[in-house]
Structure 1
Amino acid sequence: MVSFQELHEANFSGIVDTAEAWSGLAKALEGLDTRVGNELTNTPQRAGWEGASADDAKNTLNRVDQDFTLAAAVARSVAAIVADAADDLKAARRTLDQTLDDAAAQKLTVAANGDISWPPMQGVPHNDPDSQQVSEDYRKEMKGKADAVSDRINRAVDQATAADQRAAAALQTDVGSSTTSFNSAPYGGGDAADAKRAADLMSKGGSLSDDELKRLQNLMAANAGSKDFSTTLLNSLNAGGKNGPEALLEYSKIYGDLGRGDHNGKQYQDVYGNLSQVLATATKDGGMGKDWQDGLLKAAREGSHGSSSPYNTSYDVLTDLMGAKGDFDKEFLNKVGTDLIDYERGSKAKGEDLWGPGYTAVTGNQGDPMGGLMQAMSRNPEAAKGFFDPEGNKNLDYLLKDRDWPNKGYEEKQLDSIARGTSRGTFGDALEAATTGRDPHGNQPPVHPHDPAMARIMSNTVATLGGERAGDENKLPAGLRHPLGNMIADYAPDTHEILGKEMGGESETSKLTVTRDQLLRTIRGVSEDPEAYKTIHYAETREIARRMDTYGPEAMQPDGTGRPNPKFAGFVQESGQALGSLDGVRSDVITDHRDDQIFRNNWNSKINYHILGTPANIIFGPAGDLAQRLVDVGTADYANKLNDEASSVATGKLSDTFSAGDQELGAMIRQKAAQSGLSQDQIKATGGVPQSLMDEATTNYSTAIDRTYRSALGRS
């Protein structure tokens, strides 16, 4: 194990010199090899020496000649291995040096043993009432920076340790253990040589020793992103006489199963994940060639995987491998996805009859090949967008409307924690990637504005799931709820317009072409998951705050007739409509589960901002200070009112029972008035601008909550 101090203080010139020395030795041995042939072996033959002694001498000299040849090959191999190690160690050192430079720029000090510290905060008077909070915020900020630097240091040290271990293992195998002869087939250094080592180790499957498994892990982790390594490995695989794509599927099955086993499962998972990346690296930009890629799809289509099973058990082996880790490019994902859909459409057997009994599993290894493909697709938003764009193909229609998904018909009853791992759940992840431009598993900032293809996919999805009439909104598959919640939240400017304005046609921001009722029915289906509802609600609150923040203090001054500013009043009316619509959905959820107290308690607690805080900020991006204050005030009042409404059900006029959104908007209007310089007396004054705005907000909120419940959701 390489330590931080060893890597930081290391001088790699000795390793470089060693590589050069071994290279020089190889050249010298090659010269001796030539002299053995020219000066020893050939001389007696030219002199005409014959007989038994001559034959013995000739054989001895040939062995000497061969020994020099093998010795030169081993020396070249050692030189290459040591040179590779030097390059890898220097790369780790560069990573560490850059990390230390970045740490210094952030005022962090890294000690000789790797411990990290930072200076005390300066400039905050002790008598400042906020000093304790400011100091705590500073401590958290610096600790976060220190933790990030520590992670980078550990990665650099791990990189050096892995390079050291690879070199040691390669030297052992290439030099060999014999004391009387040289290794006749040393691999040498470089990515291609490492690939052949990996192929040899991989062929042992579950019989790998712990040391061999560790070496295979190391080789795969270090080289999975190398084109030379990846193509050489795939071309070197041989499994019981199978090679090429068939061998890849065979090893994918073997290592996928081993990764789910009890013995060294985590280590085998690492190998399997990096085999996924090997396939992704090798196939980038048309790599491996059309014939090889076509052969892979042919092997996947034909597959009962060497058994007498009547089901296809090979396609999911391919797509599970793709979903495991690999960063696949758009062309390969589209090729596999198009082939899979064509294969399903063209097969007489469907669903479980095509893919086997494991197709309907909801835990463990679900045998639906669409799951792994969608998981891989979700990591490449551009690929997902192209694959789902209704302007270019019918893939989205097939997956939303026509496909026979596992457990179709009672997916809505699945627990969210289980549903997220099903193929329908990974389809949701791919939809989220396509419509937002972000990998849902990553931490990228929002991608705005949405381009036309993203908006087309979003519109098609919401219109399909929302339907033309009320009745099916509660049947949204559980696996789609979380990703759809994120998708709708990402389109908050559009949902604000659609819910808050009486508009036809398309929304102004992203040009969505969905009706208010379709959107609300989709939100209702999503809202069986309280966290998804909370994400949507929080996004709408932020959108209201963002728009409210664009108005100056004059918005709180009366116009010439003594009425509120017409433009700002119109915005408040829209906001009341939007929040009323969302509370109409909330009232429906609570009423539908009126007899399930456990569900209602859990649902209300998970949308309560006081209990769990706000959703992850990464979905929404930063907000200005004044806008964020409006958000904080609004969500606090919303949470307070939720506690009062926790046991309510929809009866009579809904706004008499549910009014949390109205309370929220009122709090935001009062905060905006205070930010605009109005006194508390002015804010509370009957007939004043703030009170008039709150009255208009209440009217629009009341109309929207009842309209949502009775019209969009069809409740009586």
Structure 2
Amino acid sequence: MPLTYHDVMTTKFSTLKDAAGSWRKMGTRFGELQTDFDTNVLKVIGDSAWRGEGFTAAFSQSGIIRQEFIAAKAEAQAIAQILDEAFTQFDAFKTAIDKVVKEAESKGYKVNAQTGEVTYDWDSLTPEENRAMKNDPENGRIIAQAERDFTQNIKTLVGQVDDADHGVKLALKTATVDKDGKGATDGFNSAAEGDMEKVEANRAKDLATKLNSGDDLSATETAELRRLMRDNSDDKAFSQTLLNGLGAERTLELGNKLRGMGKDGDEVEKGLAESIATATRVPKSVAEMPVGSEEYKTWLNSADGKFNKDFMADLEKVGTKNFGSNTEPVYGYQALVTTMKQGGKYDDQFLHALGNDIIEAEKKKPDLWDIWNGKPVQRGVEHDPLDGVLGIMSKDPEASTAYLDPKQSDHLKYLLKDRDWPDYLMNGPGAAPKEMDAMSDLYNQKGLGAALESAATGYAPGTQHPMGAHTESQARIMHDTIGLLNESGHAEKMPPNLRAPLAHMLTDYTPDTHEILGRDNVDYQNHAEGGGVWNDGPGGASMAVKEEDLVKVMRGIADDPAAYGQMYRAEKEYSLDLFSSMPNDNKHDDTVVPVKKTSSAIGMYDGVLADITFDKRDTINQYAFDFNHAVTSSTGVVMDFTPAKYLPPVDIANRALDFAMYDYTLDMRKEAGMEATKENGQKFDAGQHNISNMIAAWSETHTDPETGKPREGSDNWTTALIKEGETEYRGGRDDALSWLRSEW
């Protein structure tokens, strides 16, 4: 029967401390008795002239008695340690519960002394206050939510006390069972373990071993294993003892076994994943102690690092072992990463080392992870363990950046250019395997895309964050990603699972892509011919590539209309801020230059869209709808504001100008019916309508400060700016089309 709130709050846990002291004294006393026995009995027997059967019996029995004194001391001391730890755990939980209770009471709530249920204390209010509170629907919602939250917090803590209580019971029971094989039968236990986490780990190992052997666990045993993992997987002693006891091979077997057990198995597998994360924890980050460094090697050879060294070596032995069948292979690294994905925050060194080991394994057997008939995928197995590790790593941007930084390793080149990504193969009786490219595209490179986004932006994928301000390492990854995609031929024909992540990355680099596509920044052009990455101050690093290389990557992304629409919207927002920051002055270079750059950039974006219309004529209506929705949507763009590094910050909410997004659907549908010629491609000028609107809006909002009216000659200046924009727009669009369509 589970413990209740009343049980926990009325139990005097200090008696455990007193009992621990008594057991410790008992252990000391047994030690003293053993010394007395050695001096006054064994020594006398050994020094006497007594011989014969009586002597032999006495001598044999005295050895057993001596062992029991030793065992009694060990058992008593182990029990004392268990009781001390029990007091520490119970007292900490009770203190935490008391803190929740006091917080609730301070806010006008009361706690049921028996159940721990929290309700609002209406009796403490005056009748007038009571009526006012109950007549306000918002108050009722807030109070109901607080009641639920307080009650759940108390229930969770009471449950943790109950789990700990089971652990204490197991440890005490285990300590008092004679397992040493010495002394009297069913005597004291000289092998008694006082570390409760180690006791629980050994019990979990025994249950897991039974499960691995093919025996079903009883309902009680299943619940016990679930509790052991839930209660202890964040403890390093428990986790390392469990994994050491199982070894890598049986750990992987356990994960595979749990995967087919339903809800109970899922909970235990989550605990197993968290135990792997806990057991492999490293004292320093990868930035402080990189994998392969002398400090890391020294740590691996230390007592603290020995587990990681042995466990990784053990995994290496079984990483390519087939735990499935010939028709449904499940290799060791696949099984490991599948389990790891169920939970746990893994240290960066462990992920880096694991990724390196998987790379070494697949270089020896390049086709190891190919998927046959889809069976492993249907069973939920991570068919590509390297991609799975990258997906896990993407949750830690610093780990992702360190792993993919081309200055630190060739991992980025290997992944984007050199690696033979797994194939999806179908076969039948007597038939040769048939590659299913569409299925391969569906599964491949999801983890890589997430890791690239995390590494290049410094934020976990899918999180809303400010635009720009990158480190040199992040900018190098962005720069080399564009280059490697072009070198490998995957820029224009981009793997589907890279399109959205690359769009998020380039959206984050909009200040750089704007300058590249603007074709007017000599600094960017020079850097594009050089190293491509430079740091120009506290605002962060910048990145430059050749315009053609960037446009080809944009074309690859554009096969996903939502992803490309997000990039387009980011460019629009950035351009709006540029225009809002232009001086209130006619015929000023600071107005001409932003107009020219923006027009050229939008022209290149539209050149990509023109190319899209010729390639997707059958589906252009849906494409245009999805693209427009992404551009005009109020969500989905990672940019929160424009950093001052690039231009004076503008409060978007108070921006003086904006424009309605031109409906691209009309132009794209019209283009889809045309022959793919340069002349027809040049007719696609939807984006120029937007730029003209922006210029007109800027002119209307920038007036003579003395009269409040448009400046003299402003109409002519507006017309001149629009013409400048049209020229740059056409140049940008035509350049993009010439790079994308070889016949032009």
**What TM-score bracket applies, with the shorter chain setting the length?**
0.7 to 0.9
Corresponding position of 1:499: 517
1:426 matches 2:426: no
Corresponding position of 1:395: 411
Corresponding position of 1:342: 360
In structure 2, do the counterparts of structure 1 residues 472 and 465 end up closer, same or farther at CA, with 3 Å as the change threshold?
A: closer
Q: Which amino acid aligns with 2:241?
A: T
Does the CA contact (< 8 Å) of 1:255 and 1:269 recur in 2? yes
State which drifts further: 166-175 or 499-508: 499-508
Does the CA contact (< 8 Å) of 1:303 and 1:313 recur in 2? yes
Corresponding position of 1:451: 471
Within 1, Cα distance between the matches of 2:730 and 2:592?
Answer: 16
Within 2, Cα distance between the matches of 1:216 and 1:701?
Answer: 66
Give the counterpart of 2:556 among 502, 516, 525: 525
Secondary structure of the residue aligned to 1:633 is coil
Does the CA contact (< 8 Å) of 2:397 and 2:459 recur in 1? yes
Does the CA contact (< 8 Å) of 2:391 and 2:450 recur in 1? yes
Deviations 1:35-70 (A, max 9, x none): 876899999998999899999999999999799658
**Superposition deviation, residue 480 in structure 1:** 0.9
Does the CA contact (< 8 Å) of 1:377 and 1:384 recur in 2? yes
Corresponding position of 2:636: 615
Deviations 1:367-405 (A, max 9, x none): 222122212332333333333233333322222122111
Secondary structure of the residue aligned to 1:497 is helix
Within 1, Cα distance between the matches of 2:149 and 2:718?
Answer: 52
Does the CA contact (< 8 Å) of 2:253 and 2:323 recur in 1? no
| Correspondence list, 1:472-483, <5 A | 473-483=491-501
1:461 matches 2:461: no
Give the structure with higher Rg (CA): 2
Within 2, Cα distance between the matches of 1:150 and 1:601?
Answer: 49
Within 1, Cα distance between the matches of 2:148 and 2:603?
Answer: 46
Q: Which amino acid aligns with 1:248?
A: A
1:538 matches 2:558: no
Within 2, Cα distance between the matches of 1:116 and 1:595?
Answer: 62
Aligned residues: 652
Corresponding position of 2:392: 376
Deviations 1:270-299 (A, max 9, x none): 224313323432697642357515523531
Within 2, Cα distance between the matches of 1:337 and 1:56?
Answer: 59
Within 2, Cα distance between the matches of 1:483 and 1:146?
Answer: 41
Corresponding position of 1:132: none
1:572 matches 2:595: yes
In structure 2, do the counterparts of structure 1 residues 381 and 220 end up closer, same or farther at CA, with 3 Å as the change threshold?
A: same
Within 2, Cα distance between the matches of 1:429 and 1:145?
Answer: 40
Secondary structure of the residue aligned to 2:671 is coil
1:357 matches 2:372: yes
Does the CA contact (< 8 Å) of 1:445 and 1:621 recur in 2? no
Does the CA contact (< 8 Å) of 1:201 and 1:216 recur in 2? yes
1:296 matches 2:314: yes
In structure 2, do the counterparts of structure 1 residues 154 and 210 end up closer, same or farther at CA, with 3 Å as the change threshold?
A: farther
Corresponding position of 1:30: 27
In structure 2, do the counterparts of structure 1 residues 646 and 334 end up closer, same or farther at CA, with 3 Å as the change threshold?
A: same
Does the CA contact (< 8 Å) of 1:429 and 1:440 recur in 2? yes
Deviations 1:674-702 (A, max 9, x none): 65467998499972545543443344334
Q: Which amino acid aligns with 1:273?
A: A
**Structural RMSD (CA):** 5.2
Secondary structure of the residue aligned to 1:390 is coil
Corresponding position of 2:670: 648
State which drifts further: 398-407 or 689-698: 689-698
Secondary structure of the residue aligned to 2:651 is helix
Secondary structure of the residue aligned to 1:392 is coil
1:168 matches 2:173: no
State which drifts further: 706-715 or 431-440: 706-715
Q: Which amino acid aligns with 1:271?
A: G
Give the counterpart of 1:72 among 68, 72, 76: 76
Identity over the aligned pairs, expressed in percent? Answer: 22
Q: Which amino acid aligns with 1:609?
A: T
Does the CA contact (< 8 Å) of 2:204 and 2:228 recur in 1? yes
Corresponding position of 2:456: 435
**Superposition deviation, residue 320 in structure 1:** 3.9
Corresponding position of 1:220: 229
Within 2, Cα distance between the matches of 1:710 and 1:44?
Answer: 103
Higher share of residues assigned helix? 1
Corresponding position of 2:12: 14
In structure 2, do the counterparts of structure 1 residues 306 and 600 end up closer, same or farther at CA, with 3 Å as the change threshold?
A: closer
State which drifts further: 472-481 or 63-72: 63-72
Secondary structure of the residue aligned to 2:281 is helix
In structure 2, do the counterparts of structure 1 residues 684 and 334 end up closer, same or farther at CA, with 3 Å as the change threshold?
A: farther
Corresponding position of 2:429: none
1:662 matches 2:688: yes
In structure 2, do the counterparts of structure 1 residues 574 and 447 end up closer, same or farther at CA, with 3 Å as the change threshold?
A: closer
Deviations 1:56-115 (A, max 9, x none): 9999999997996587357425513422422541574598599x69x99xxx98776668
Secondary structure of the residue aligned to 1:393 is coil
Does the CA contact (< 8 Å) of 2:491 and 2:556 recur in 1? yes
Deviations 1:198-225 (A, max 9, x none): 3334333373444544444444345444
**Superposition deviation, residue 427 in structure 1:** 1.2
Corresponding position of 1:134: none
Name stretches of at least 5 consecutive residues in structure 2 with no aligned partner.
112-116, 122-137, 179-185, 285-295, 426-434, 529-533
Name stretches of at least 5 consecutive residues in structure 1 with no aligned partner.
118-138, 239-246
Corresponding position of 1:131: none
In structure 2, do the counterparts of structure 1 residues 84 and 526 end up closer, same or farther at CA, with 3 Å as the change threshold?
A: farther
**Superposition deviation, residue 254 in structure 1:** 2.5
Within 2, Cα distance between the matches of 1:506 and 1:653?
Answer: 34
**Superposition deviation, residue 25 in structure 1:** 3.2
